[in-house]
Structure formats: structure tokens, C-alpha cells
Chain A
Amino acid sequence: MNFDPRYSGRNFASVGTRPIRPDGVDKVTGRARYGADFNMAGQLVGRVLRSPHAHATIRKIDTSKAEKLNGVKAVITAADLPDLTDGDAALYDILDNCMARKKALYDGHAVAAVAAVDARTARQALKLIEIDYEVLPHVTDVDEAMKHSAPVLDDTIFTEGLEQEPVKPSNVTKRSQYGHGDIHAGFGQADYVVERSFKTEQTHQGYIEPHACVASVSADGTADLWVCTQGHFVYRQHCAQLLGMEASKLRVTSSEIGGGFGGKTHVWAEPVALALSRKAGRPVKLVMTRDEVFRASGPTSATSIDVRIGARKDGTITAAEATLRYSCGPYAGMWAELGAMTAFACYNLANVRTVGYEVLVNRPKTAAYRAPSAPMAAFAVESAVDELAKEIGMDPVEFRIRNAAQEGTRSSYGPVYGPIGIGPTLEAAKNHPHMQAPLGKNQGRGMACGFWFNFGGQTCTDLNIGMDGSVSLAVGTVDVGGSRASLSLVAAEELGIAYEQVKAVVADTSSLGYNDMTDGSRGTFSSSMATISAARNAIKILRERAAQMWDVPVDDVVWENGHAIAKGEKYGNLAALSLREIAAGSGKTGGPIAGHSELVADGAGVSFATHICDIEVDPETGATRVLRYTVLQDAGKAVHPTYVEGQYQGGAAQGIGWALNEEYVYGKDGRLQNPGFLDYRIPVCSDLPMIDTQILEIPNPNHPYGVRGVGETSIVPPLAAIANAVSNAAGVRMTHIPMSPPRILAAIEAERGGRWSK
């Protein structure tokens, strides 16, 4: 990579301002095209048949009656998606998840699909598909699945990471461990020890737009896919591999996205739509219903976590340990491992140990959800931290400040930290007016910290300068939160021109080199780095063209404030050439002017946040009301502060829903009981206060502008901050998320009962 990513400490003209987003007008007028808004001539309607059983062997599938139905153009099963994964276990899991092969592994698992001339015919055809199931015992609870008596989902799985090689298959795919020091010695030094067990229920990202795509496979083997995704290049790669196509023959165009939050990093319907189109010879549109999104896309893990923390009387934590059990759905994952890595990352600990267990259950395949796995770990740890502070008699903010990690601290997951923002966010919380505001009856305040790694990845960007001097920026990271505005600001900053002169678009997979998907809070971090690089490459050409126009050596030409300037007394009479003037003459100086960049954006800065929350609890009903909420987070550098604030607020809003109401409810039959927004309750505007934000800027030394990712960390502290607030308001420690009214009422009544019995 011929690009120096180091932070330069420059002053900014465009970056840090708040212009209107380029996609805003289309979105508020309904003109923006989302996944289901695309149509092709002759397209068919795709529908998927899903298992009603949580766990069942598929003995036989008979599609003959469906195929004979008038208007049905294709019916597919796993036989139409042969195994081309060549020993790649993770890819095989994706294939099996898209279309069950031998067993249905959860309620909603796809088992067959049809393409028909209309939705009615497609639904009729699904009813005509006959499947002979052998229903098997199932398990949906993470703790139950770990028991020796639990039905084993996959008898080829033997737990990885155990000291002794296991002799029996198990639902535990892996044990992982992190930490350093001697926790036994550490607990020996403790004057106070808090030990608690916590549970969190499975939640869904709750994006408003369901998965949708249109697939069109031509007779010559080339194909187009229009799809709502967080990463069209990754979708292309996976679909091409699963269907045995060359990647270059599959063009994937990403639509606008109505929310993803990690849930659109994974293919579900897309390989099915392509297989249907290939068989039918016509385009196929496949849109998941909300019921299908809940039952058969990728929710987060349900968890069961034990935490133990010890501290001296002076408030110094001497030892900390956690055991984390995370459900993965029916396929292996690294969800508990991420929890184990992040659990204690906010603190400077001499003795720490975390152990994670990945657990298979008969639920949908777990997918990432915004800082995946960290919120649940933070809920358990930050609840125990709060309780420990209380036992010692210290203010919870002061207790955290005393133990906060800082530059030079060995992180609980291993490496030593560079410059980080946990201390500054805690200091900002301590000094925030929110912390001093009075509370009323039945009201409680809670605060908590959170950490997320952030990462970068493969990135490719094109910057093209038109003859009129306007700039087209083509990026390959899907815009999930305003990145087209941010990247236009970055291009304007580098080129020294106005923001309005730049238009950013997300290019399709045939127009740009490969890009990793928009995940890991990497969109603006990575693509801004590539945009800076592309702009600098374009400036080099602009200087060369100006040198030609003046007939002077290019080394005498510099670029300042959007103009080429000939430096030196001998050029005193040469007026600066603007970008527009050089672009206008480009046809006579060598043709189009463009800058290209392909790079791996590594060195993403880790991110920390502190949240403060006030809650009122009705002790008669257990109902809660969020009164006030404040987010304080390090952004490195906020390129477009409004959208950074939006990320902070969005993470807090989702965290509030997760903490207070959202949960997957499974019946004893292993079927999901609440696959709709009526029964799975996400917060709406009337549930939320204005979420206040404070952006801190501790520059990332590995980005020219100091940018860190901001999209994920904001969902890490809310579960814990709200649990601490509810616990303070209700006078009882809440240990089970979500803290829905029945659960709070039960906890209050149990506490009252306990008190009365004493």
C-alpha cells in the first residue's frame, strides 16, 4: 500500500461541517429505491417453503404436484444447490442455512422454493410441496443445550479448545479463553467480591426493510442481482461460489438500505433467488415477509453469563473473571469469543480471565448485530461493577475512573492500548449536567461503559473529475448511515473544493474493485482513507496538467485550496489555475482526470463510550419510562458530526429496546411465538426521550484525519446503563434482559417477599 495513513493533525475546512446528505431528498420524498423497489420485465415471484419443526430429518421432498400447477415456472430444493463448497466449512454452513439439506435445524429453515407468475400461484405451489419429516427432539435454550442430556444437533461436532480431547459430540463447538495475571491471587487480595449470573434473550436487529432482491440469470450464464445488502461484493462472492459461477459474470448492485446493523452481512434469499432464476430462465423477485425475517434471518445470541469481580477497599479491582455462554443457532460461530474478548476491555486489570462457550441451539443462525456480542458481556460486567462500587461505598463513575484502561494498559484481550478514550468519556460523564440532575420518586439513574474494536478492510475507490470540474466519487462500501455525505466532505477537503461540487455514489460490483462489506464500523474509516488516497492521486495528475498548460516543470507546481500554483519568483505573473479550469482543458492535456485507490485500511482505532440513563419504574405494574439518556463517545474525528450523533442516538435507541422489551419467545414446540412487530416490541418515538450526545475527539493515529469507527460502540453500554438505572429505581438488582414489565414486577415482588420473610 503506497499510502501513508498516519494522523497528520491538519486543520479542516470541510470535514467537521454539517451539510445536507446527498441521498436525503430522495429518501424523504419516497423516490429512493430500496430492495423491493426494483423490477424487471417478465419477472417471477419467488416464495420459500420453511420448516415448521425446530429439528427434523428431511426424509423425502415431493415437488411434482407443485411443478404441475399452472403458472409455476420453477421449484427448487437443496438438490438444485449442489455442494460446491470444497471443504470450506463456513461456506457449507451458509449453503445449508440457505436451503436445508438433510435436516431442518430450526423453525423457519428453508426447505424448498418456487418461482411463479404471481404471489397467489407461488403460495399455492408451496402448499403442494410434500415433505416427509422425521421430527427430532430439539433444544432452544443456551444452558439446556450444554447439558449432557440435550439433543445433539450435529454429531460431527466435538468441542474445540478443551485441554482434553473430547470423546463425545456436543452442542458446544468451541471453548475460548482470554486474560492475564493470576486471578486466584487477585481474588485473595480483594476486600469485596461480587459474583452474579446474568441472562439475555435473543433479539433481532429490527431493520425496517426486510431482505429483498431481484435475480436474473441469462442463458449465457451471466447474471444480475439487485439486492438490499451491507456488502454487495461479499454477496457476489458467496453467491458465485454457491452457484458455481465466475464472480465477474455476476453483477451485484446494492439498493438503498432500510437498516442492516449486521443483519445484512449474510446471504439468505439471494442464492435461492439466483437458483430459481437459473431454473426458470426468467428474473425472480424474492422479498422476505416480516415473519420470515424474524424466523429465518440472523438474530443475535441469547446468553448466559457468570461474572465475579473483586476489589480492595480503596476501589482498586484486584481480579475479574467471566464465563460466557452464547447461542450460535445451529452453526458454529465466534460469538462467545467476542464476548470474552470485550467483556473487561474498559478496565486496567492485573488479573483477569474470561472463558467463552459457543453453543448450538435450534434457532436461526446467529448473525452480527452492531458490536456483536459486546452488549451482553457489558451488561453482565457493568452490572457487577456498579454493584461492587456500591458495596465499597464509591461513586460508580469514580470507581470506573479509578480502574479505567489508558494508553499503555494491557487490554483484557491481550495487546497493550495506544491512545484511547475510555478515561475522557468517563470524565465527561462525571462533569455532565445529567449526573447532577435531581431524580423523583421511583426514578433511578444508571451509567455504564462500553468498548468495541472497530476494523477496516479491503477498499477500492474511484474519483473522476468531469470536464466541468464536478467530481464523481464511486465507492464500494454500502452507505448505511450517511457515508456518502462524509466521503464527499473528505474528497472536498483533499481537493480544496466545495462539498456541493462532489457527488458520491455506491458503485456496483462490475464497476469497481473488491470491497469488504460495511461492517465493523468501517464504512467511513476505510472509504475515507481510500478517498484521500484517490484524491491525492488525482491531484498529482492535476498538477501535471497545470504544468503542461503553463509549460513549466511539474515539480514547481503545488496544489493549494483547490488550485494549482506555480511556486517561485519566476512564475510571479502566472495566475493560479482552478480545478475547473484544468478540468475544462483536460481534453487537450491528456484526456480524463481521475484518481484511483485500492488499499487495505488497517489500524482502525478501538472505541469507547459511556452512557447515562434515567428511568422511572412503576412499582405496581413493572412498566418503565426512559426519562433522559446521554451518550458520550470518542469518534476520533467526526467527519460529519450530525451523522456521528445519529449513530450514537441509533445505537442507544436499539439498546433501549433490547434492554426493556425485545426478545424471541419460543414455545415448547420449538416454534417462534412472536415473529412480528406487534408481539416483538421495538421502541417507537413515543417510547424515547431526546437522546443527548457528546462527541469526544481523541485522534486515531492510524488515519490521516484521526477517524475512528463510530457505528457500533453506541449499542454496547445501553443494556447495562439501563439495568443499573432500573435496579436503582426498583431497589432490586436486575439480572435478566429484557427487563420487561412482568420481569421487573416479578423481581420487585420477589424482593418484597424476601424482605417480608426476613
Chain B
Amino acid sequence: MVEVTLWGSLGAIAGGKSKVEIEAKDIRELFRKLAEQYPGFEPYIDRGIAVAIDGVIYRDTWSKELPKGAEIFLLPRLAGG
């Protein structure tokens, strides 16, 4: 079980929660289960969600493991110049 912190807009979809607990071993499973529990997340996942694991931001490595006790933060996918 990992605790995942949501950013504002996602929190609203999760019924106003800023944190949710999910049983997931990696980012792929995290997204799958989030979409199952909160169908409103799907368009956000399609648009792109970045996952910060202990402060390191992952945008595309969905195989990245979620270590137990790690701080997991969801962020919108960033644009750059």
C-alpha cells in the first residue's frame, strides 16, 4: 500500500481528498487502479501525469517501482522550451 498525494484538480475528482492509498507495485499499476477507483482520472492520465517518487519526477517510466514508504506525488505533465 502506498500513499499518493494528488494535486488540486485531481483531489477534486477524488472527492476532495488530497491523499489516497493504493496497493500498487509500480506506476503502471498505480494509474490502472486510480482509473478504476476514480474514472474521472482517465482523461488526466491520457493527457499525461508525472509521478514524483521521493522528489524525483518520472513522466514516462511506467515500470518504475513504488518503494514502500516512498513519498509519491502526482503532478501534471510539464511543458518545456
Contacts and interface: CB of A to CB of B under 8 A. Distances in A.
Residue from the set B73, B75, B79 with the largest chain A CB neighbour count within 10 Å? B79
Interface in A490-543: 519-522
A369 B81 contact: yes
Contacts of A1: 61, 63
B7 A414 contact: yes
A262 interface: yes
A642 to B, nearest CB: 22
A602 B73 contact: no
A519 B7 contact: no
A3 to B, nearest CB: 11
Interface residues of A, number: 47
Given A1-B61, A415-B57, A176 B78 contact: no
A602 B58 contact: yes
Contacts of B60: 457-458, 600, 602
Nearest to A520: B80
A663 interface: no
A415 B8 CA distance: 14
Given A177-B8, A371-B81, A414 B73 contact: yes
Contacts of B81: 205, 261-263, 265, 368-372, 519-520, 711-712
A603 B56 contact: yes
B76 A334 contact: yes
Interface string B1-41: 00001011100100000000000000000000000000000
Interface in B36-62: 47, 52, 54-61
Contacts of A712: 80-81
A42 B76 CA distance: 46
Contacts of A172: none
Interface in A325-340: 334, 337-338
A334 B79 contact: yes
Nearest to B16: A163
Given A177-B8, A600-B61, A337 B76 contact: yes
Interface in A451-482: 453-458
Interface in B66-81: 71, 73, 75-76, 78-81
A338 B78 contact: yes
Contacts of A163: 12
A337 B50 CA distance: 14
A368 B80 CA distance: 6
Given A337-B76, A414-B75, A711-B81, 7 more contacts: A262-B81, A369-B81, A414-B5, A416-B71, A418-B54, A418-B55, A603-B56
A-B pairs, top 6 by smallest CB distance, nearest first, are A262-B81, A520-B80, A415-B52, A368-B81, A177-B8, A519-B80
23 contacts: A1-B61, A160-B9, A174-B9, A176-B7, A178-B7, A205-B81, A262-B80, A334-B76, A368-B80, A372-B79, A413-B75, A414-B52, A415-B54, A415-B57, A415-B75, A418-B54, A457-B59, A457-B60, A519-B79, A602-B57, A603-B56, A603-B57, A603-B58
